[in-house]
Structure formats: structure tokens, C-alpha cells
Amino acid sequence: MNKGLNATALTIAIIGAINWGLIGIFRFDLVAFLFGDMSWLSRLVYIIVGICGLYLITFYMYLDDRNSGN
């Protein structure tokens, strides 16, 4: 797997998770604050975060490979 792509996807997913935490705790949407409420740019950010989340699902395939050698 591409280490750079993995790190980028993980970073973006973490940023998305922090945003969801802010929404849940403070009712503050950082993406909407920075880019506008459902502007094309904020929608693009949400789409990219979602794609990264879907990509990270593939990490489950590698969990068993790394633990089977122990």
C-alpha cells in the first residue's frame, strides 16, 4: 500500500472526526464556519472526508495479516 496515501487519508479522516466531535459537543461545525454552510467548497470537504473514510475501511483487511505472525 502507498504509505503517503494512507497517511493523507488517515489525517483527513481524523480531521473529519474532530469536526464531528465539535458538532456533537459544541454544536459547532468547523467546516461550515470556514467554508460556508453547504457551499460548494464545504461540500467538497465533506465528500473528501467521506471518501477517505471509505478508503480506510480497507485497513481491516490488513489487521489480520499483521497479527497472524505473532
pLDDT tens digits along 2-13: 899 999 999 999
- What pLDDT was estimated at residue 62? 83
Per-residue pLDDT, averaged over 29-35, amounts to 96
Range list of H helices, the chain: 3-26, 30-35, 40-56, 59-67
Distance of CA 52 to the CA centre of its chain: 5
Give the count of domains, the chain: 1
- Grid cell 467546516 is found at 31
Residue 49 belongs to domain spanning: 3-67
- In this model, does residue 50 exceed pLDDT 60? yes
The band of 63, judged by pLDDT with boundaries at 50, 70 and 90, is confident
**Global pTM value:** 0.82
